[in-house]
Structure 1
Amino acid sequence: MSGPVGVGVIGAGVISKQYLEHLTTYPDVRVLFVADLDTERAATQAAAFGIPGSGSVDELLAQPDVEIVVNLTIPAAHVEVSLAILEAGKHVWSEKPIGLDRAGSAALVARADELGLRIGVAPDTMLGAGIQTALRAIRGGDIGRPLSALTLMQSPGPDLWHPSPDFLFQAGGGPVLDMGPYYFSALVHVFGSVERVQAVGHRAQEVRRIVTGPRAGEEFAVTEPTNVALLLDFADGAFGTSHFSFDSPLARQGFVEITGTEATLVLPDPNTFGGASVLVTPDGEKRELPVDADGQGRGLGVVDMARAIRNGGELQAGGALGLHVLDVMLSTLQSLERRAPVVIETDAPVAPPLVDGWDARAATL
């Protein structure tokens, strides 16, 4: 086949707006259908973005012109929905995480391979000009040999702004599983696979209250750790320290520093697509690495997949990477519970940085 790749979206919730407002502007993909359990909500989103079709999941999977399906369901449904997409003969782009357990997620990646289909996993912020510029600088030797990393993400918690935040504090949620994919994906792109993790942590509250939206004032149970610190050992001998918290009144997010033998690189927030990096040398000199991230947003990974389907090549954020990041996160929680290091059983091939000037806004197919 040739020409733009047809795309369908399952899940018309909060995150779908961010995907659709960008996917509908990229010429190498055409969004053809939006599906949701609530078909009226799907119709509303489709109408808002000029998408021709909407309806049920089964109706979407029956669409012959849809080649990639974007899975924006809740984390607990990711594996089940992604498997259904694959069995319908379509490629999958899944919101993070790939799943909530190792066995089911590994089976998903294996099934995609058996069927000769692609599976990609968020975050695709790794494809943004901000992180890609930093990765090219690191691969180019600007900091020497990468030795260590320091990352930090702390906030008061999404219960202050999300209208239905329960799932972010229960199985499949918490700051490690919710925010970890951005930071761990960035670190794996720099250092390669994680070999071992050791963590400590707790949850500050057993019950929290929704602050905004139609459910404001409603209380919900917290079951996951909400304040976690960890040490990562990478297979190449480097290490990283990270802190994830939904319990801090002082919000500090997007903090990623990579130190090498010759310099330290301060990366932009891995939960964004742009932002300049700053190179700091031992004599205190600071040099900014500017970027042009105009028009970039969620959906870059779908464009990367569309081009790979037509032209071949590896995905920047493929299923093996998504599976490895999940393994790191689950091992972090296991280490916290056991109060002992946990060895990571998976590894992930890391794609080279995108060529300078890679542009999702360009028509290439």
Structure 2
Amino acid sequence: MVMRVGVVGCGNISKIYLSMANRFRDIKVVAISDLRPEVAAAQAERFDLRAMPVHELIDSQDIDIVLNLTIPSAHADVSIAALTAGKHVYSEKPLAASLVDGRRIAEAAKQTGLRVGVAPDTFLGAGAQTALRLIEDGAIGTPIIGSAAIMSRGMEHWHPNPEFFFKPGGGPVLDMGPYYVTTLVAMLGPVHKVSAVGQIGLAERTVTAEGSPVFGSTIKVEVLTSVQAILTFKSGAQVTLQCSWDVWKHGLLPIEVHGKAGSIRVPDPNTFGGVVFLSAAGAEWEPVETSELVFGAPNWPLDAPARVNYRGLGLAEMANAILHNRPHRANAALGLHTLAVLEGILQSATEERPVIIQESCERPALLRQSEALELLVSAASIA
């Protein structure tokens, strides 16, 4: 049996989802919709899908899962409508634009008995999974302290329609933070408390993305664009997280974790692969290659693979879990906890006080190579 998927939202991220979908055994994208019918029609023609109005797609009887690729402010309405219509949901990150809406989604899933999955799914890739396996195997001992850094100049220089990144529901914490916090939670378990400071680096942003229909326009910034946070995990580990769209250049690594027996460097959690570096008790850094593993080989862009990008892996893993009646890994509890941490960071920075995280979750189970391989149509699909 294959789970039939209907896509809501034809934004920038939809291309990679649609391009990767046919590599996964348990899903088949059959329909697509967008508030801009002409955009949905173009994507439908390109990928041989049915273009439908949003409400018709959600109510369609031949769709099992709604893939929600709308902007964050629309996540809750679309996801809840899909659940109410009897569909499982897999949503782009964050789960919702606010914790209140995230709780509404989780409650709707509970009431309907349906599944909700949420990006990011990069933590299921070979890079993060290798780091997780090493930590589980005791390679660094009990984790004590760590650091994570999200640094760039912002989104207006490359994204064709970047305004929503600088409005409520956007900003580096909510946009990029899910990749880092999800990976950290997968490694270290749930977060107990956060403390943060933040600021708006530039009051206005000018769109300079080449080819943008709004090139040269000005965006009023309404969210914090530079934030520094300390995450205290229930395990006792502490991690410093820096998120900024006000940085020209830096030399900080994506994630480092230091334990009682060693240290580990984790690849960029916004990708699925990368090299893990391990230092045992102060020894030289030893590289651990992941490019030969499932979901570790460069595969994007399709015509000249240079990056590791298997977006849709979390959706495929959820579909497989539904078919085999087991829990899925990129689940609503993980997404809600991640959202609670991110919102807690912003609340702490705004109110200048520590915030206790009320929502918790379980660490997702390690995705072993044999399990990863089962998600694919064939072994040839990994590259």
Matched, 1:303 2:316: yes
Which one is further off, 173-182 or 243-252?
A: 243-252
1:258-284 CA distance string (max 9 Å, x none): 111111110111000111211012342
1: distance between equivalents of 2:31 and 2:264? 42
Relative to structure 1, the CA distance from residue 252 to residue 169 in structure 2 (aligned partners, 3 Å threshold; closer, same or farther) is farther
Contact 1:196 1:233 in 2 (8 A): yes
RMSD over aligned CA atoms reads 1.5
- One-letter code of the match for 2:226? N
Distance 1:207 1:34 in 2: 34
Give 1:356 deviation, angstroms.
Answer: 2.4
Match of 2:376 among 346, 354, 361: 361
Is 1:334–2:332 an aligned residue pair? no
Aligned to 1:345: 358
Greater displacement, 355-364 / 100-109 = 355-364
**What CA distance in whole angstroms lies between the structure 2 residues aligned with 1:50 and 1:272?**
27
Query: 1:253: Cα distance to partner?
Result: 7.4
Counterpart for residue 191 of structure 1: 188
Q: Which deviates the most, 101-110 or 199-208?
A: 101-110
Matched with 2:276 is 277
1:151·1:255 contact (CA, 8 Å) conserved in 2?
Answer: yes
% of aligned pairs identical? 40
In the TM superposition, residue 65 of structure 1 has moved relative to its aligned partner by 2.3
- Contact 2:76/2:104, CA 8 A, preserved across alignment: no
Kindly report which structure 2 residues correspond to 1:50-61, keeping only aligned pairs within 5 A, or say none. 50-51=48-49, 53-61=50-58
Shift of the 253–42 alpha-carbon distance from structure 1 to 2, 3 Å rule, reads farther
2:30 equivalent among 29, 32, 47 = 32
1:288 corresponds to:
287
Deviations 1:81-105 (A, max 9, x none): 0000101101000111111222221
Q: 1:283 to 1:342 in 2, by over 3 A?
A: closer
Local SS of the residue matching 2:195 = strand
- Higher mean displacement: 293-302 or 116-125: 293-302
- State the partner residue of 1:46: 44
Structure 1 residues 224 and 10, CA gap change in structure 2 (3 angstroms)? same
SS in 2 for 1:349: coil
Distance in 1 (CA, whole Å) between partners of 2:141 and 2:78 is 43
Match of 1:101 in 2: 98
- The one-letter amino acid of 2:229's match is L
Q: Which residue number in structure 2 is paired with residue 250 of structure 1?
A: 249
Q: Is the 8 A contact 2:262 2:282 kept in 1?
A: no
Q: Secondary structure at the match of 1:248?
A: coil
Question: How far off is 1:340 after superposition?
Answer: 1.3
Q: Which residue number corresponds to residue 122 of structure 1?
A: 119
> What TM-score results when the alignment is normalised by the length of structure 2?
0.91
| Residue pair 2:5, 2:31 contacting (<8 A) in 1 also | yes
State the match for 1:268 in structure 2. Answer: 267
> Contact 2:139–2:280 (CA<8 Å) still a contact in 1?
no
Answer yes or no: is 1:159 the counterpart of 2:156: yes
Paired residues of 2:131 and 2:266 also in contact (CA < 8 A)? yes
Matched to 1:83, the amino acid is I
Partner AA of 2:281 in structure 1: P
Which residue number corresponds to residue 150 of structure 1? 147
Please tell me whether the aligned partners of residues 98 and 169 of structure 2 are also in contact (alpha carbons under 8 angstroms).
no
Distance 1:362 1:192 in 2: 32
User: Taking structure 1 as reference, are residues 339 and 278 closer, same or farther at Cα in structure 2, changes over 3 Å only?
Assistant: same
**3-state DSSP of counterpart to 1:269:** coil
Distance 1:117 1:35, change over 3 A: same
Q: CA deviation at 1:120?
A: 0.6
Specify the SS of the correspondent of 1:201.
strand
Q: 2-side partners of 1:67 and 1:180: how far apart?
A: 29
Task: Tell me how far apart the structure 2 counterparts of residues 275 and 281 of structure 1 sit (CA, whole Å).
Answer: 20
Displacement after TM superposition at 1:287 (Å): 2.1
Superposition deviation, residue 211 in structure 1:
0.3
Give the count of matched residue pairs: 361
Partner of 2:176: 179
Amino acid at match of 1:314: P
For each residue in 1:207-230, what CA deviation from the matched residue of structure 2 results, as whole angstroms up to 9, or x when unmatched? 110002121110010011111101
Consecutive unaligned residues of structure 1, counting only runs of 5 or more, are none
**Does the CA contact (< 8 Å) of 2:278 and 2:286 recur in 1?**
yes
Q: Distance in 2 between matches of 1:256 and 1:362?
A: 32
Q: Is the 8 A contact 2:194 2:356 kept in 1?
A: yes
Q: What is the distance in 1 between the residues matched to 2:367 and 2:41?
A: 36
- Residues 283-332 of structure 1 show CA distances to partners (whole Å, capped at 9, x for unaligned) of 42222222132355100011011101100211111001111111111111
From 161, 165, 168, the equivalent of 1:168 is 165
Amino acid at match of 1:338: E
